[in-house]
Amino acid sequence: MKHTHGSIEVVCGSMFSGKTDELIRRLRRAVIARQKVQVFKPSIDVRYAVEKVTSHAGSDFDAIPVEKAEKILDLLEKDTTVVGVDEAQFFDNAILDVVVKLASKGIRVLVAGLDQDFRGEPFGPMPVLMAIAERVDKLQAICMVCGEPASRTQRLVNGSPARFDDPVVIVGASEMYEARCRKHHEVPR
Catalytic residues: 87
Helices then strands (H, E): number in the chain?
Answer: 4, 13
The Cα–Cα gap between 12 and 139 comes to 6
Chain centre distance of CA 188? 26
State the CB neighbour count (10 A cutoff) for residue 163. Answer: 12
- Among residues 64, 105, 84, the alpha carbon closest in space to that of 9 is found at 84
CB neighbour list of residue 77: distance below 8 Å, 6 or more residues apart: 36, 38
Contact 97, 128 (CB under 8 A): no
The Cα–Cα gap between 176 and 34 comes to 39
The Cα–Cα gap between 144 and 160 comes to 14
Question: Which bin fits 17, alpha (ψ -120 to 50), beta or left (φ > 0)?
Answer: alpha
